[in-house]
Amino acid sequence: MKKYLQLAILIIVLASIFYGIYWGIKRWTNGGEIKTYQALVAVYDEKNKDPIEDKKSSMKKGYVIGLYPEDHQWSKTEEVSYLILKIKLNEKQVQKIVESIEENVDTKTLSEEEQEMIKKEKKDGNYQEQKNVVSIRRYKINLDKIGFSDPNSLLNGQPLKDKVFDWEIVEKIE
């Protein structure tokens, strides 16, 4: 009887170890733990007269302005000005959904003074590649996919407050 008890305990311990390894690998390969966030989403297109600046700095319909904890409390102004969605995301998706499109700065186009500063930073080991924002967001929420089309409906309350979405409603901006 004692051998069966020892065998049962050994099996339970081994099963726990294997499950822990499986869970760790699955979490690591899937981008991390999935949590529910509230996304503050633009419902109007901001516009800048300069098309390059417009792409760099203007929020457009469907762009996620920010992600907040599931229990975040919103002001009345935010509730009538933006779409607020609950969305389940892993750690990689959290970063991606607010990611901008950037390009490396061509250091040859910089002034001599700036180029000297870069040489000094490289020599000191403090240099970080210079980047320019090309577009304020790489991804957006597909508002058609979730059935949202009328920003004025926000005056009557958040239309999708009881729904929880996932990455399926996100699309890459072309």
Buried-exposed string 4-32: b where 16+ CB fall within 10 A, e elsewhere: eeeeeeeeeeeeeeeeeeeeeeeeeeebe
The per-residue pLDDT for 111 is: 86
The per-residue pLDDT for 30 is: 56
Each of the 174 residues of the chain gets a pLDDT tens digit; together they read 766 666 666 666 666 665 666 555 555 555 689 999 999 999 999 999 999 999 989 999 999 999 999 999 999 999 999 999 999 999 999 999 999 999 888 878 888 888 888 888 888 888 888 888 889 999 999 999 999 999 999 999 999 999 999 999 999 997
The dihedral through the CA atoms of 112, 102, 42, 64 has a sign that is negative
Q: Give me 142's structure tokens.
A: 């597909």
Q: Give me 6's structure tokens.
A: 């020892």
